[in-house]
Structure 1
Amino acid sequence: MKLTTDELHLFKRNGYLIKRKVLDPDLMERARAMLWGGAPPDRLRDDPATWVGPFRPYEENDEGSNYRRGFRWAYREPGDEEWMIRLLATEPKIWSMVEQMLGVGQVVQPERIRGIYCTLPYGDHPPQKLNCHTDGHPFHVGVVGYIDDVPPGGGGFMVWPESHRAFYPTFTSQYLRDQDEAAYEKVRDEFNQRTPVDAHGQAGDIVFWHHRLGHMASPNTSKQLRQAVLYDFLKTDMEQTQQEPPQEDMWRDWSDEIRAIDIDTDTMENVA
């Protein structure tokens, strides 16, 4: 599977791209089944009434391998399973599209994915305010894969289009966390006044997103448990490029194919 020129243009302009029906159904079912091995005893796969959050105090777990707190559940333990990596990071269609963006033979071979990330239904609890953030660890492009249906308002990956282009120069390096705090917060405040995009979807859908894109795991006002797998792709030269300052061309170290896409004539509201 290859990305079209229009799709590459959308990704470069908006900072994200949704692709439908990409993940393998059998591996998705295997992941859904495995998730419940890390669930508290009272949370039952076949009883949706038990999915409603938040986690009770005795169910909470601060261990990174199976983090549970509030409405968030990050089951990272199975992320190094070979079939889990194959479900998302090395899935041939995904790998092909990522190499289009980063360059053939230029992508670090995955050793694990982040894991299975869930958001419990909020039930009668009010949803929190929508606020974007950027991730601190270095990578180039992330992918979120839905292993079950995520309806509108169902805790899907929420993005602030075009924010990657505004956030990028507020950092003191291309990919590390260090930033000009005042400049960063000014951009964040501006984008938080805009309406974000709820990137909901069905089982098998994926969302590509740029490292500097403003995003959040949105509130889950549905009755469905939001289940997703995540991975972050990076190039083999990251150790060098991560320390370089922001470039005039923020796509300088991406593929020739994506660098050739012209978005200079596109309009982005001034948030500087």
Structure 2
Amino acid sequence: MEPLSDQEIQFFKEEGYLIKKQVMDPGLIALARERLWDSASDTMDPKDPDTWIGPIEEHRDDQGNVRGGYGWKYRQIGSQEWIVRMLPRDLTIWSMAEKLLGKGNVVVPDRIRGIYCILPQGDQPEKPTTCHTDGHPFHLGVVGYIGDVPPKGGGFTVWPKSHRKLYFDYHSSHRNEPTEQHEKDIAYFNQQTYVDCHGQAGDIIFWHHRLAHAAGHNRSRQIRQAVLYDFRRKDMDQVMEEPPSQDMWRDWPGIC
């Protein structure tokens, strides 16, 4: 697979996200789905979808694993070599990240966030989908699906072009230091049309670190299962001390 075409790079620049189909290794995906159940609630049966419907009881352990409501985050698994190799260290995905951020510029991954799940809501009333931006410093996010995600199935949800406003709504280029304008712009984007990035196991979504996004509400009968990682450049300690650059793509050699 070619790393990224000029057309795809231009789409990412304009829209703030990019979907790539069938990138991750199917064998590692199957292993991730199997291992996910190591951290499941005692009330959940992998063979019985009726037991997957939230909300579930709150649980948090000293390994960073969290369950509760409609969320389930299996973070402990994120340091295992094979799961890192499935997402950020996959040769194709790594080459795409380096294409955008510059060869030799990107921190070599040693873990991922973990497996993040959104449980079905069952017959609960549907709620509005609202956006946010992440507070921790990174450049390029990637979400990988380890199970099929139908429309309205809890997929990664984005507000196209929002990064072009929100990047400048911070005092720091990468720290979580929002200006007063940030809250106003988030309110504005919550009135705009979003994109539900539904897809199949093996699909990935790249996204800019200041893109407005959300985990969609899961109105399906299956669990939304995804792995997440945040690419960052090696000079992050320096650049996050700086205000947003007038050229928001200054640190992205692959984007003209």
Q: CA deviation at 1:154?
A: 0.2
For residues 253 and 142 of structure 1, the distance between their equivalents in structure 2, rounded to whole angstroms, comes to 15
Matched ranges for 1:148-227 at <5 A: 148-180=147-179, 182-227=180-225
Deviation for aligned residue 1:246: 0.7
Give the equivalent residue in structure 1 for 2:8: 7
- Write the letter of the residue equivalent to 1:234: R
Look up the equivalent residue of 1:184 and give its one-letter code. Answer: H
Counterpart of 1:267 in structure 2 is: none
Q: AA paired with 2:71?
A: R
Provide the secondary structure at the position in 2 that maps to 1:117.
strand
Q: Which residue of 1 aligns with 2:231?
A: 233
CA distance in 2, matches of 1:62, 1:125: 24
TM-score (norm 1): 0.92
Tell me how far 1:127 sits from its aligned partner.
Answer: 2.8
Q: Write the letter of the residue equivalent to 2:153.
A: G
User: Gaps (5+ residues) in structure 2?
Assistant: none
Runs of 4+ in 1 over 4 A off after TM superposition: none
Report how far residue 2 of structure 1 moved: 1.3
| Root mean square deviation, CA, Å | 0.9
Secondary structure at the counterpart of residue 173 of structure 2:
coil
Structure 2 partner of 1:84? 83
Rounded to whole Å, the distance in 1 between the matches of 2:14 and 2:127 is 28
Q: What is the CA-CA distance between 1:189 and the residue it aligns to?
A: 1.0
Matched residue, 1:263: none
Q: Which amino acid counterpart does residue 226 of structure 1 have in structure 2?
A: R
Q: Is 1:243 paired with 2:244?
A: no
**Matches of 1:172 and 1:130 in 2, distance apart?**
27
Aligned residues: 254
Aligned-partner Cα distance in 2 for 1:125–1:25: 33
Question: What is the CA–CA distance in structure 2 between the aligned matches of 1:247 and 1:66, rounded to whole Å?
Answer: 36
Mark the runs of 5 or more structure 1 residues left unpaired by the alignment. 261-272
Shift of 1:47: 1.1
Give me the identity figure in percent: 54
For 2:223 and 2:157, locate their aligned partners in 1 and report how far apart those are by CA, in whole Å. 16
Match status 1:43 vs 2:57: no
Report the TM-score when normalising by structure 2. 0.97
